[in-house]
Amino acid sequence: MENVVTHEDWKVCFSELAPGLVLFARQFVRTSADAEDIVQDAFVRFWRKEHSIENRGLLYATVRSVALDLLRRDTRRARREANAALEVEQTTAPQFDFDDSSQRELAAAVDRLPVEQREVLVMKIWNELTFAEIGEALAISQNTAASRYRYALAALKKNFVAHE
Amino acid sequence: MNDFSQLEAELKKLRPRAASPELTARIERALTEAPSTVAEVSGRTATAGVLPKRRNFRVNWFGLGLGLAAAAVFLLLARVNIDQPAKRQSVVAMTPAPFSPPIPVSDAFVPAGMTEVVYNTRDEGLHFPEGGDQPVRRMRSRKRETLKWNNPQTGTSLRVSYPSEEVTLIPVEGQ
């Protein structure tokens, strides 16, 4: 599938993908503004290279790479700094809109997950990627992606219940 | 997974915050303009281990310095090895060997003498040589001659011995 760059095309595609992409990028940075910068850079690159928009694994891999490159550029210690930034993410702006306090607690429990589990959870729940696509995006096997997802749910259930 | 179905449903109820309207406008601007971001201008490409990575030539000063240091150490060690004796000897082997002065090669041999031993003499009778007016007696002698040279500096000697045969013609006086 070729990406014919017209305004209607990319706007339709982006409007569907934008919230999930920003949420995914948000896992690597503390603010929504930084996350949007990452998504902009990644989406423009992806679109200009005329990759198939159905190749979501590659699209999320691009977002992740741009995020890690940004961190590496700033700190020269991308992974360590990304983890460190994610560890203190509880103090940053929320990633979700809440209807009640229960949802706020659940979102807080999501924030407390390890980054490896959280990025799988975000791609699976709010972006509806398959485990194969998640594996492609993270350069891991499909089984590893599924395992991380199960670990995330188990930890979330345990933490969420504990905080209730 | 059934254990988590309720939890998954709760998670899906969480709505990610919408992207800001400015984001769409920024992307629209970026798509219509030439590459402008720092990353694009510099040719940087996101990889994440999935995308092919562009290779940018950069001088790795640390690696270069490390290589030069290694080369310097190598040259230093090589120099030390050159300066040291080629073969290390054990303590026992380093005990001085019995002194044996080198024999100087010299050709300063001087003749020391010559001996001549006659083993046999035979009278072969009278002969009349051509063009002669007088008969001669021919005597044949078999001998061994020995020549000797000495080297006064070293005390060495050299002997050469060879057989020889001599014929002597003795004129016969007529009476």
Q: Is the pLDDT of residue A53 over 50?
A: yes
Give the percent of chain A with pLDDT over 90: 37
Distance from CA of A65 to the nearest CA of B (A): 5
Q: Is residue B156 part of a domain?
A: yes
Q: Is residue B164 part of a domain?
A: yes
Give yes or no for A19 touching B (CB within 8 A): yes
> Using CB atoms and an 8 Å cut-off, which of residues 27-46 of chain A contact chain B?
32, 36, 39-45
- Mean pLDDT of all residues in B136-151: 87
- Residue B38's pLDDT band (cuts 50, 70, 90): very low
ipTM above 0.85? no
Predicted local distance difference test score (pLDDT) of residue A82: 57
Q: Residue B72 is encoded by which pair of tokens?
A: 């310097």
pLDDT in tens, A67-90: 988 887 766 555 555 565 555 544
Average pLDDT, chain B: 74
> Poorest-confidence range of A5-9, A38-42, B18-22, B142-146?
A5-9
> Using CB atoms and an 8 Å cut-off, which of residues 48-77 of chain A contact chain B?
48, 57-58, 61-62, 64-66, 68-69
Q: Is the pLDDT of residue A93 over 70?
A: no
B63-102 CB burial, b ≥16 within 10 A, e <16 = eeeeeeeeeeeeeeeeeeeeeeeeeeeeeeeeeeeeeeee
**This prediction's pTM:** 0.52
Q: How many Cβ pairs within 8 Å bridge chains A and B? A: 130
Domain holding B118, by residue range, is 110-171
Q: Is residue B53 part of a domain?
A: no
* A36: nearest Cα among B114, B22, B112: B22
- Residue A41's pLDDT band (cuts 50, 70, 90): very high
Residues of A within 8 A of B43 (CB-CB) are none
Domain count, chain B: 1
- Residue B15's pLDDT band (cuts 50, 70, 90): confident
> Poorest-confidence range of A54-58, B101-105, B162-166?
B101-105
Q: Is residue B141 part of a domain?
A: yes
Counted residue by residue, chain B has a size of 175
Predicted local distance difference test score (pLDDT) of residue B67: 87
Cα distances (Å, whole numbers) of residue A46 to A57, A87, A122 = 12, 29, 20
Domains of chain A with bracketed CATH: 7-163 (1.20.140)
Give yes or no for B42 touching A (CB within 8 A): no
Q: Which of A39, A61, A95 has the CB atom closest to B51's CB atom?
A: A61
Q: Is residue B34 part of a domain?
A: no
Give yes or no for A151 touching B (CB within 8 A): no
Contact B16 A14 (CB under 8 A): no
Cα distances (Å, whole numbers) of residue A53 to A43, A83, B56 = 10, 29, 28
Q: Is the pLDDT of residue B16 over 60?
A: yes
CB of B110 within 8 A of CB of B93? no
Q: Which of B8, B23, B50 has the CB atom closest to A61's CB atom?
A: B50
Q: Is the pLDDT of residue B62 over 90?
A: no
CB of A67 within 8 A of CB of A25? yes
Average pLDDT, chain A: 82
Q: Is residue B17 part of a domain?
A: no
Residue A140 burial by Cβ neighbours in a 10 Å radius (0-12, 13-18, 19+): middle
Q: Is residue B161 part of a domain?
A: yes
Residues of A within 8 A of B13 (CB-CB) are 99, 103
Q: Is residue B1 part of a domain?
A: no
